[in-house]
């Protein structure tokens, strides 16, 4: 970030786009992948997945804000990272069940 601070606005904008786009793209991929899997495995999968996503989005954003204000941004970051690791574990476990 210090390298971008002294650059012209165009370079700072491109740098900000890259810094936001790459993690945002990678964090956004599990939902469509999970939706496709749920649609194939469950009769009501898509309906439930949209509902769970909506609830998790509202509750998660509020909890992240409270966590950051109470214990700091590092705690909020690591809690989010732990949620992604946990979701990945559940995904892997469901993949193992599919292959059995």
Q: For residues 43 and 32, which has the higher predicted lDDT (pLDDT)?
A: 32
Crossing angle of the two packed helices 30-41 and 45-71, in degrees rounded to 10:
150
> Does 99 score more than 60 pLDDT?
no
Q: Is the CB of residue 27 less than 8 Å from the CB of residue 20?
A: no
Q: Count how many Cα atoms sit within 13 Å of the Cα of residue 59 in the half-sphere of its side chain.
A: 6
Q: For residues 26 and 62, which has the higher predicted lDDT (pLDDT)?
A: 62
Residue with tokens 């949209």: 50
Q: What is the mean pLDDT of residues 55-72?
A: 94
> Does 74 score more than 80 pLDDT?
yes
Domain boundaries, the chain: 29-99
Backbone phi, psi, residue 29, to 5°: -70, -35
Q: For residues 61 and 30, which has the higher predicted lDDT (pLDDT)?
A: 61
Q: What percent of the chain has pLDDT over 70?
A: 87
Tens digit of pLDDT for each residue in 47-58?
777 888 889 889
Mean pLDDT of the chain: 84
Tens digit of pLDDT for each residue in 25-42?
887 877 777 777 777 776
């Amino acid at each position: 970030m210090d390298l971008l601070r002294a650059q012209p606005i165009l370079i700072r904008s491109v740098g900000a786009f890259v810094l936001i786009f790459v993690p945002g793209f990678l964090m956004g991929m599990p939902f469509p992948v999970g939706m496709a899997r749920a649609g194939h495995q469950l009769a009501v999968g898509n309906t439930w997945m949209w509902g769970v996503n909506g609830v998790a989005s509202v509750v998660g954003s509020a909890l992240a804000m409270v966590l950051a204000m109470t214990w700091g941004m590092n705690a909020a970051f690591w809690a989010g990272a732990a949620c992604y690791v946990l979701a990945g574990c559940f995904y892997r476990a469901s993949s193992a069940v599919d292959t059995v």
